[in-house]
Amino acid sequence: MADIGKRIKEKRESLGMTQEELASKLGYKNKSSIAKIETGTNDIVQSKVVEFANILDTTVAYLMGWESIPKNSKRKGVTINVLGRVAAGIPIEAIEEIIDTEEITEELARTGNFFGLQIHGNSMEPRIYEGDVVIVRQQDDADSGDVVIAMINGDDATCKRLRKYRDGIELIPNNPSYEPMFFSNDEIMTKPVKIIGKVVELRGKL
């Protein structure tokens, strides 16, 4: 059932829905049930697949792998700007370095404000490469394990995986050649370290 879990996760993320939100809509007690389904640890009864399909606005056939195109794939999209860089102190809406545009679904667009950001450097390889574009929902917090765009010391924004601890946070690169960056709660305030968005989608350009 790992494939159906993978499709459920892809559809959920394309709609900008959290595991908690999906669990609530389906009547599960907490997000761990959804997490286990998405990783293939837990199976889903056939009747529940219908509920998943309805809530995720797709078809049972797509979730089961019988068809390859999601139901809403031909819906009109929403165009967002792709930025070459995000600098400190400038609101996203005011940044003029627009290098391209990307299209996101209307469902995703309804869940917040979005922008695209071109990746520079290789710290997130092998998953995210130089020149790739990530779709980012603007938000100032995220869950542990999310890939975020963060501002450190007022420099350009960086893309890293967030890990939260009681005494601070860690920004973790995918590339083992780079060391994780830990910031205490005091450093978060004084440097400062600021989360400006969560990566919800990757648009590879290779």
Q: Are strands 98-105 and 77-83 parallel, antiparallel or unpaired?
A: antiparallel
Distant-in-sequence, close-in-space partners of 91: CB < 8 Å, separation ≥ 6: none
Q: Which of 6, 68, 71, 123 is catalytic?
A: 123
Q: Which of 47, 160, 177, 191 is catalytic?
A: 160
CA atoms within 13 A on the CB side of 50: 2
Q: Are strands 114-118 and 77-83 parallel, antiparallel or unpaired?
A: parallel
User: Do the Cβ atoms of 184 and 190 come closer than 8 Å?
Assistant: no
Q: Is 205 part of the annotated catalytic residue set?
A: no
CA atoms within 13 A on the CB side of 167: 2
Distant-in-sequence, close-in-space partners of 166: CB < 8 Å, separation ≥ 6: none
Radius of gyration, alpha carbons of the chain: 18
Q: Is 160 part of the annotated catalytic residue set?
A: yes
So which residues are the catalytic ones?
123, 160
